[in-house]
Chains A and B, each alone.
Chain A
Amino acid sequence: MKDVYILGIETSCDETSFSIIKNGVTDIATVISTQIKIHEDYGGVVPEIASREHLKNITLVLDQVLREANMKMEDLDAIAVTYAPGLVGSLLIGVQAAKTLSYIYDLPLIAVNHMVGHIYSNQLVKDFEFPALILVVSGGHTQIVLMEDHLKFKLLGETLDDAVGETYDKVARIVGLSYPGGPKLDKLSKYGKDIYEFPIPLDDDSLNFSFSGLKTAVLNFVNKERMRQSKFNVEDLAKSFQETVKEIFRKKLTIALDNYEVKSLIVAGGVAANSGVREVVKEIADKYDISYSFPPMKYCTDNAAMIGAAAYQYYLNNDFSNLELSVKSQEEI
């Protein structure tokens, strides 16, 4: 079969990214223009500003990816774009660009769910071994998904309130770390001791998660310590919090692997960069003697490479979208 080159486009939040992926596995070129410095001023992503920045960047990033790949639009076989979930105004810029490129160059348009993309970022490292258990961890998601084959997903459990990434950012804010605080909290935990006790919410035999109680417990702890004017150690708090999160994942992944026989354990989403998540996944996979995979650090943040990787499977299935494609703020995989 001839090689298939797919242009991936990702604009679901605050990164404008284009990528050219060969046969769903080889990253020919990926360009990511991040707005993180702009949103830092506001303590979080401001949707209208994100949309405005995407519009400013859109042709620049496209131009750069074509240059880096040393390719022309005519060399491509399909255009893939994130259409959900995400910020509607941001998603629209990518989808609008994708529709226009698809029409001009008469290329099939492929709609990719952002979270499916995160899962497929692993495919850029090694082939999936099915069935696989996927731990989806990001600022908006915490899910355990069974993946029986390409694009065949079954949701086994998910958070009933806050997502794990959201919890990291909120706890980081409680202890005074600036946005985005999650990764900073993770870093601090390396220098602390696990000396503070926090509860494990939803400690049952389901595969669902709950994190809001944990966040509240940290908040209460910090408020109490501050009222007593006692100086708690931030590194120790970070470590204790991280260990609690690890214990939550340890328990839930154990339940999942006791109930579903899988060949691999795969992590997807922005929080896949978190060292605690990496440690616990490695530990559990080793215990059950199955393979595991994390996306490389450069594909943990939002990127278009994963969109191009996922799109290849739709391409093989001739599963194409059209010029009436709508964006959606929410959409399950």
Chain B
Amino acid sequence: MILFIDTSLGTCYSAIYKDGKIIGEVNEYLKTKMSDIGTKLIFDLFDDNNLDIKDLDKVIVVTGPGSYTGVRIGVTTAKIIAYSLNIDLIPISKLELMAFNTESNLYKVPVIDARRDNYYSAVYDKDNKLVLKEAHRSIEDLLEFLKDKDYVFIYDDEIKLDKRLKFEIDFEKTIKHFMNYQKIDNIHLLDANYLKKTEAEENRDKL
């Protein structure tokens, strides 16, 4: 039995996968309520389907990039579950998740608004091969890379860019794909993938 958790942006995505299929799923826009009820929605999946969380074999968690607080909610939950039950923990990228779930013959460019015209972004080709690694970058730098390419932006929370597709998750396809990804060796070392230092650290580094 596998639990999938993504609380990195405004929508709480979670699903339980068992015997080759999805037993229960959450796909609910919570925005700021994520910290209050996100966990409850995830745990309700077990109760509503008469499943015991202790039967989990694996947790797949989106570790970012995204809202710092949102990411930490999912990662804390996943870390505590995997530690408590001593099971496999697989960290995955939100940007890769967005690209993987989007069919297109163009270059796929998952983007997350990081404010002040910056985006967490990466570029994948139509076969989901990474062609520009994920980073926090300005829209100018991103468009510079994309010039002369046919591309489409993929977004989850609202963005101020055209030529775009909304991320729609297919839980079964997602879990079947990512369940074979590399698990983390030491659960204690799982951290969020912020893609950006804190402002305090950046200001200090400038000195």
Q: Which chain A residues have a beta carbon within 8 Å of chain B's beta carbons? A: 41-42, 46, 48-49, 51-52, 55-56, 58-60, 62-63, 73, 88-89, 92-93, 95-97, 99-101, 103-105, 322-327
Within 8 A of A (CB), among B29-81: 35-37, 39-40, 43, 53-54, 68-69, 72-73, 75-77, 79-81
Measured in the bound complex, the distance between the Cα atoms of B82 and A59 in whole Å is 10
Question: Can you list, as one digit per residue, whether each of B168-207 has a CB less than 8 Å from chain A (1) or not (0)?
Answer: 0000000000000000000110011010001111001000
Residues from chain A with a CB closer than 8 A to the CB of B79 are: 55, 58-59
Q: Which of A56, A89, A93, A322 lies in contact with B191, CB distance below 8 A?
A: A56
Question: B43 contacts A58, CB within 8 Å?
Answer: no
User: Which of A49, A59, A95, A322 has the most B CB atoms < 10 Å from its CB?
Assistant: A59
Question: B200 contacts A42, CB within 8 Å?
Answer: yes
Question: B40 contacts A89, CB within 8 Å?
Answer: no
Interface residue total, chain B, C-beta cutoff 8 A: 31
Question: A99 contacts B39, CB within 8 Å?
Answer: yes
Residues from chain A with a CB closer than 8 A to the CB of B200 are: 42, 46, 48-49
Question: B80 contacts A48, CB within 8 Å?
Answer: no
Residues from chain A with a CB closer than 8 A to the CB of B73 are: 92, 96
Question: A51 contacts B72, CB within 8 Å?
Answer: yes
Question: A48 contacts B198, CB within 8 Å?
Answer: yes
Measured in the bound complex, the distance between the Cα atoms of B162 and A163 in whole Å is 50
Residues from chain A with a CB closer than 8 A to the CB of B84 are: 73, 100-101, 104-105
Question: B198 contacts A92, CB within 8 Å?
Answer: no
Chain B min CB distance to A203 (Å)? 39
Residues from chain B with a CB closer than 8 A to the CB of A100 are: 39, 76-77, 80-81, 84
In the complex, which residue of chain A has the Cβ closest to the Cβ of B203? A42
Chain B min CB distance to A326 (Å)? 5
Chain A min CB distance to B192 (Å)? 6
With A48-B68, A48-B198 already in contact, the answer to whether A326 and B35 are too (CB < 8 A) is yes
Question: B83 contacts A62, CB within 8 Å?
Answer: yes
Question: A58 contacts B76, CB within 8 Å?
Answer: yes
Residue B132, interface by CB 8 Å:
no
Q: Which of A51, A324, A325 lies in contact with B69, CB distance below 8 A?
A: A51
In the complex, which residue of chain A has the Cβ closest to the Cβ of B40? A323
Chain A min CB distance to B112 (Å)? 17
Q: Which of B35, B54, B72, B188 lies in contact with A104, CB distance below 8 A?
A: B54
Chain A min CB distance to B37 (Å)? 5
Residues from chain B with a CB closer than 8 A to the CB of A58 are: 76, 79-80
